[in-house]
Each structure stands twice: as C-alpha cells, then as structure tokens.
Amino acid sequence: MTKAHLEAILFVSAKPLTVGALAKLLETDAEKIESWLEELSEIYSGPERGMMLVRNGAEVQFFSAPQTREVVENFLKEEITGELTRPQLETLTIIAYRGPISKPDIEQIRGINCTLILRNLEWRGLIEQSGESTSEIPAYRVTIDFVRYLGLSSTEQLPQYEKMNVCEALLPSSQLPL
C-alpha cells in the first residue's frame, strides 16, 4: 500500500482512526504510517489548503481547515436542512427496517458505496452507530429523534415492519418492497 491509500482512507473515514488500525488496514508497520502521516501533515498545513490533518494521541483524521469554516458551515447547513435525496431516503429506509445494520450490508442491498450518504444522515441526526456490532465494523440504526419525528414510539410501528425486517437474506434494492 502507499501514502495515497492512507490519504484516501483518512478522507472517507467518518471517525478518527488509530495508527495501529491504519497499519493493520494498509498491511504495513506503524513506523511507515507515521512517516506518511508526517508527509501528509506537511502537505495539508498550508493556508491554501481546505483540509488539515488533525492528531489526538494515536488517532488521526482529516478536518476542514479553520480558514474555510464559514463556507463549510453554510454548505453543511444547507446539506443538513435541505430535502433528502432519493439515495438518502433509500438508505434511511434500509436502516429503519433492517437496523442495526452494517455499512457493507447496506452497500450489498443498494449496490453502491454509501459512505457519504451515511455521513450525511449522521450529521442530520437521523442515524447513529449502534454499538451492537459484533465486529470492528460499525452497525447503524435510526435515532430516537427520527422515530419521534415520524410520530412513532418504535420502528416496529413502521408500515409492513415485520415483512420488511427480513434478516436471513439481504435482498437487492430492486427486490425491496418499498
């Protein structure tokens, strides 16, 4: 693996990652990761950059640079308060009926990468990581605010919940009875 792989992982990650986790993921040693992180930190440290690499102990993550704060806040406000797109609605429906469900399982159903969709739904406060995952892969569920917004007391009150909450086989989105 290369520094480009590390940069890509940090770019798409919704949460901080440890040096150890990155080394394992990229099948290299921690010293190599530290070297690449130092190089990336130098690249993204200039005032002309829109992102910066932030470290907190062994954890590292990309964030928007301070000088872009106002533009980013305005964009996110629009993203968070604007209408949900069809892909976001489809993903939210899958999570509501199948949750807690992992990102790979969601992607298997939808047939596309859902990283940005999941991040947007989390920012909006519609989904959260459940903590019920049996592996290092997070599982997602809808938030209590989402359920309350629908006027329900639980997701089991969703229309056709028992029929849609099928866990034994993941169906492609074209076969989901939406």
Residue 127 is part of a domain; what is its CATH number? 1.10.10.10
Tell me, rounded to whole angstroms, the distance of Cα 13 from its chain centroid: 7
* pLDDT bucket at 176, cuts 50 / 70 / 90: very low
Verify that 168 and 103 share a domain, yes or no.
Answer: yes
| Burial profile 42-75: b = 16 or more Cβ within 10 angstroms, e = fewer | eebeeeeeeebbeeeeeebbbebbeeeeeeeeee
Q: What is the pLDDT of residue 18?
A: 93
In a domain, 78, yes or no: no
Cis? peptide before 87, omega within 30° of 0:
no
Given a cut of 80, whether residue 178 has pLDDT beyond it is: no
Verify that 88 and 150 share a domain, yes or no.
Answer: yes
Verify that 130 and 165 share a domain, yes or no.
Answer: yes
Decide: helix, strand or coil at residue 14: coil
Interval 110-136 mean pLDDT: 84
Q: What is the pLDDT of residue 38?
A: 94
Tell me, rounded to whole angstroms, the distance of Cα 119 from its chain centroid: 4
In a domain, 77, yes or no: no
Q: What is the pLDDT of residue 103?
A: 92
Number of domains in the chain: 2
Verify that 140 and 171 share a domain, yes or no.
Answer: yes
Q: Which residue has the higher pLDDT, 38 or 72?
A: 38
Verify that 105 and 140 share a domain, yes or no.
Answer: yes
Verify that 9 and 52 share a domain, yes or no.
Answer: yes
Domain encompassing residue 100: 83-175
Verify that 89 and 163 share a domain, yes or no.
Answer: yes
Interval 12-24 mean pLDDT: 89
